[in-house]
Amino acid sequence: MEKKMVETAREELQSIKLDETDNVAVIVNEKGGCEGQSLSDGTILRENVPQCHKVALEDIATGSPIRRYGKIIGYALQDILRGGWVNEFMIALPNAPELKVNSAASEVQMVMPLSRAYTFQGYRNPDGTAGIRNILGILPSVQCVVGVLQQAVKILRQDILKEYPYVDDVVVLNHNYGCGVAIQAPEAKIPIQTLKNLAVHPNLGGELLIVGLGCEKLQPNCLIPDGTNPEIIVLQEKNGYAAMLDDIIKSAKKCLDRLNKRRREKISVSELTIGLQCGGSDAFSGITANPAIGYAADLLVRSGATVMFSEVTEVRDGIQLLLQRAATAEVEKKLIVEMQWYDHYLTLGQVDRSANPAPGNKKGGLTNIVEKAMGSIAKSGTMPIVGVLSPGEKPNRKGLIYAATPASDFVCGTLQLAAGMHLQVFSTGRGTTYGLAMAPVVKVSTRNELKDKWRDLIDINAGPIATGEASIKEIGEEIFHFILSIASGEKETWAQHWNLHNDLCLFNPAPVT
Amino acid sequence: MEKKMVETAREELQSIKLDETDNVAVIVNEKGGCEGQSLSDGTILRENVPQCHKVALEDIATGSPIRRYGKIIGYALQDILRGGWVNEFMIALPNAPELKVNSAASEVQMVMPLSRAYTFQGYRNPDGTAGIRNILGILPSVQCVVGVLQQAVKILRQDILKEYPYVDDVVVLNHNYGCGVAIQAPEAKIPIQTLKNLAVHPNLGGELLIVGLGCEKLQPNCLIPDGTNPEIIVLQEKNGYAAMLDDIIKSAKKCLDRLNKRRREKISVSELTIGLQCGGSDAFSGITANPAIGYAADLLVRSGATVMFSEVTEVRDGIQLLLQRAATAEVEKKLIVEMQWYDHYLTLGQVDRSANPAPGNKKGGLTNIVEKAMGSIAKSGTMPIVGVLSPGEKPNRKGLIYAATPASDFVCGTLQLAAGMHLQVFSTGRGTTYGLAMAPVVKVSTRNELKDKWRDLIDINAGPIATGEASIKEIGEEIFHFILSIASGEKETWAQHWNLHNDLCLFNPAPVT
């Protein structure tokens, strides 16, 4: 042990300071920094500091601000000497920023279109949208039918899907809603709108089979998308289990027949909708993976595509940064309305934004929600924000969109799907096995060590940005081109390869009855 | 059509009036009653009335009470003439009963033990409890791991379970909780307590495998039941997907080895915990299936067993009936506290108890929640209520327990499982395909027509009670003995036979973050 520490001490100690005004830096080396090692600015470590964690670059007196990303992430709860480890127990959370508009539009930059018009090989849907997968979606109107539905889908997947080589999958849009819920409650519009929008997801090729029980609150006809004519099966109308199975399979086959005739064609990248998310974040997320994803987001927006970022509790403390990028006064206003809605929602539940971050974030060096927010926002790139979505809504224009959702990975994923997301780019520092059945999820690691450990789960590694082996631009371009390959069906993500996905999880702030 | 109606008119018209003071009766005949047909009391139908729906037995003036079960279920919104159809649009909902104690214990009857001591063939668990199934339960601490877990369970089910002939199943205790949730919120105790109690469900034989991600809010060690030593796997500690799969399977096999050594033995019925629920109810539920279930509940309680009934919104309007049966002042007090909690919860969501019943209930002749409540309470039988559970809690004594849960079938089912329910008895009028993976669900139909239609889904038919072909006692005894056969593994329910079950659905009144 003694020997090992000496060896570590001999290694060059790498650290990252993000802004000239920062008074902390983050340790890059996998084994962390040891007492006595020096940073490039001459700071000498007073104690061992783990990887991703912060070191004071100057003496910080009790009550003084601690700065990272050029932003105050908190105030010292004790005197911290230069070279000391700055951990979560030493930092007081600042008050949440006030929700007010201040001279916004001034800082909004122009979108410069890319000189090259990128395309991908996708599916043209009957409603004019484009898809990147050719999936049969089956929507239960209520959880009670899911037992029967899963048995039918088992048969469809095992015995029938092979007759339809151009269809990618059969997916049950499984959810816990539909009955025993107050569908007239004001906030019930969120889960209901979410289900209606999931039903017309562009990766479902314009086909839909709805399976209802018959007596449920949320009747199947409440879920029929405008201008469509889905197959509907009501179990209470059937003569027993065998008839239910037969009829579900018969209706599914009608949809599969139509889906199987579809072929990929050349489609402009401007028709893509890409969702961005992070989960299991660490202090590298805001340095490596998220800025690289932000670079890719800029390329997508400049190609005319739609890009969504989300997670209210993770932008709340950086809201001024978003307000500065609002393209219109309407966007500014809706950003504030969504933050206020969420503040109120948390207050009703007697909690506040300090409920985020998670234990793993803290282990990963993320002290509090302010620091986490700064890193999280980095993945939105630099383009102006042209739209804001309430939970369950879909964008009505292209460009960079802020989709207000909880930060919960699976709730955010479900809401981004409902907003029409074709594909999600997901950065992770600690690692997560999260995935979605309706859209590929591209995993981007923040550190080399995670990619080394999870070779068969991480799609792209942004770790070389921290070690200086790659630039944000290089990894950003890699992400952009990987997105196009996945969208074209030329490559697959690891999660697709292993068929790993989470369940849908509706956001329902209304009562269960 | 004309001809058919004449034929129907020739059939004898059956109707049921439940209490001497009732001024409505319910039509029994499958095709309903036709204009001109007479009831046994001489009432002549003024119009066609569907099966299960109500007919006025006397003239009812605007504002006058409408009585069923000897109870005011509402007030006439218009003059209704004798022989008229009394439907939901003619009845105003009365105010909810006040929540106050009134001279309770007086009406509590004694429990007379059955003369015969019944037993079943069950499993003795290491903690001293009994089980009726021998299932390996795998508990994810967070939804992010479920994709990997499902792949591991697929392998376990397809390739490995056959080596363990004495193990019934491998079940993932899948849920949407664990991260992106405010675990410090006051109401978070409900989902967390639910998960902890599910983890020690008596049908899991004292074995448990917990699979966590590593960075989640609800760390696996928060879920370890007191005094147990479960297998724990943390995916972030593993070297990639293949290692995750291997380790889950390796740990599962350790549990399967132990479970496979267990054999059934004779156990007293007093060690059973039976849950009662209804779903897709109709106006027959309170006449046939629920009273028969109530009869079986009395037999179980008299055998020393634990019986739970639930569904707050479905007892709220009959709360005085429950208060009268409270065995102690403490039970009375907690009944009121639980009703108040739910009233407040609904108010926060800006709804009230009128959010129940569902459309299918109304089609089935249930006008409003008062009428539904009267029928729902019938399944609790006549024994004194000796305990009241908050959502997520477990009973600490035997006898009839009121477990306060939402009426949502899948939420109530999950909470009754968390309370240690071995088996659920479920009455249905419209029919439901609901089921649970951790406990058998016995389906009892309220009408002959449903049993005829769903021969391969309904386990017991209480319809003959309505047509006078069987008594409540006869069907009640049939249910009691069927419960013992299922508990002993001698018979299986239709849902077990077809492997039909819903997902668990946690009740989480706290915020998502």
Tokens 């995670």, residue located: A450
Q: What is the pLDDT of residues B398-411, one digit of tens each?
A: 999 999 999 999 99
Q: Report CB contact under 8 Å: B454, A240.
A: yes
Mean pLDDT, residues B446-462: 97
Q: What pLDDT was estimated at residue A102?
A: 64
Measured distance CA(B409)–CA(A277) in Å, rounded: 33
Measured distance CA(A212)–CA(A84) in Å, rounded: 61
Residue A351: closest C-alpha in chain B: B185
Measured distance CA(B393)–CA(B166) in Å, rounded: 30
Q: Report CB contact under 8 Å: B144, A348.
A: no
Q: What is the CA radius of gyration of chain A?
A: 24
Residue B408: closest C-alpha in chain A: A180
Higher-confidence residue of A476 and B30: namely A476
Q: What pLDDT was estimated at residue B7?
A: 41
* Interface mutation target, options A173, A215, A222, A317, chain B, most CBs of B under 10 Å: A215
Q: What pLDDT was estimated at residue A106?
A: 53
Nearest to A179 among B244, B358, B501 (CB): B358
Q: What is the pLDDT of residues B352-406, one digit of tens each?
A: 877 778 888 888 888 888 888 888 999 999 999 999 999 999 999 999 999 999 9
Measured distance CA(B260)–CA(B254) in Å, rounded: 10
Residue B231 confidence (pLDDT) above 70 = yes
Nearest to A503 among B176, B213, B355 (CB): B176
Measured distance CA(B205)–CA(B57) in Å, rounded: 55
For residue A146, the chain B residues in CB contact (below 8 A) are: 502-503
Q: Which amino acid is at B432?
A: T
Alpha-carbon gap: A275 to the closest alpha carbon of chain B (Å): 18
Q: Report CB contact under 8 Å: A513, B455.
A: no
Nearest to B360 among A151, A216, A346 (CB): A216
Please list, in sequence order, all residues whose beta carbon lies within 8 angstroms of the beta carbon of residue B103, skipping any fewer than 6 positions away: none
Record the tokens describing residue A425, joined without a space: 């780019």
- The full length of chain A comes to 513
Record the tokens describing residue B460, joined without a space: 């017991």
Record the tokens describing residue A468, joined without a space: 């200086």
Tokens 């030493």, residue located: A90
Measured distance CA(B368)–CA(B374) in Å, rounded: 10
Q: Which amino acid is at A168?
A: D
Measured distance CA(A450)–CA(A430) in Å, rounded: 7
Banded pLDDT at B346 (limits 50, 70, 90)? very high
Please list, in sequence order, all residues whose beta carbon lies within 8 angstroms of the beta carbon of residue B158, skipping any fewer than 6 positions away: none
* Interface mutation target, options B241, B416, B496, B513, chain A, most CBs of A under 10 Å: B513
Tokens 């105003």, residue located: B92
Alpha-carbon gap: A85 to the closest alpha carbon of chain B (Å): 21
Q: What pLDDT was estimated at residue B106?
A: 53
Q: Which amino acid is at A76?
A: A
Q: Report CB contact under 8 Å: A348, B348.
A: yes
Q: What pLDDT was estimated at residue A1?
A: 34
Alpha-carbon gap: A88 to the closest alpha carbon of chain B (Å): 16
Q: What pLDDT was estimated at residue B255?
A: 98
Mean pLDDT, residues B52-80: 94
Residue B30 confidence (pLDDT) above 80 = yes
Q: What pLDDT was estimated at residue A107?
A: 60
Alpha-carbon gap: B171 to the closest alpha carbon of chain A (Å): 14
Q: Look at residues B414, B437, B416 and name the one whose alpha carbon lies nearest to residue B498.
A: B437
Tell me whether residue B347 is exposed, middle or buried, using C-beta atoms within 10 angstroms of its C-beta: 0 to 12, 13 to 18, 19 or more. exposed
Nearest to A179 among B345, B408, B456 (CB): B408
Residue A435: closest C-alpha in chain B: B147
Strand order in A15-16's β-sheet? A15-16, A24-27, A54-56, A85-86
Nearest to A503 among B146, B216, B351 (CB): B146
Nearest to A457 among B241, B359, B495 (CB): B241
Q: Are A308 and A419 in contact (CB under 8 A)?
A: yes
For residue B415, the chain A residues in CB contact (below 8 A) are: none
Q: Are B209 and B231 in contact (CB under 8 A)?
A: yes
Measured distance CA(A432)–CA(A423) in Å, rounded: 17
Nearest to A176 among B355, B501, B503 (CB): B503
β-sheet bridge partners, residue B260: none
Q: What is the CA radius of gyration of chain B?
A: 24
Nearest to B143 among A242, A355, A502 (CB): A502
Q: What pLDDT was estimated at residue B3?
A: 38
Residue A429: closest C-alpha in chain B: B215
For residue B406, the chain A residues in CB contact (below 8 A) are: 180, 512-513
Q: How many interchain CB pairs under 8 A, A with B?
A: 262
Q: Are A440 and A486 in contact (CB under 8 A)?
A: yes
* Interface mutation target, options B142, B179, B237, B503, chain A, most CBs of A under 10 Å: B179
Q: What is the DSSP letter of B224?
A: P
For residue B413, the chain A residues in CB contact (below 8 A) are: none
Q: Report CB contact under 8 Å: B433, A351.
A: no
Output the DSSP codes for B458-475.
-SEE-HHHHTTSS-HHHH
CA angle A447, A450, A451 (to 5 degrees): 90
Mean pLDDT, residues B412-419: 98
Low-confidence ranges of chain A (pLDDT < 50): 1-10
Strands (DSSP E) contained in B197-352 are: 209-212, 231-234, 265-268, 273-278, 306-309
Q: What is the pLDDT of residues B82-131, one digit of tens each?
A: 999 999 899 998 888 888 876 555 567 788 999 999 999 999 999 999 99
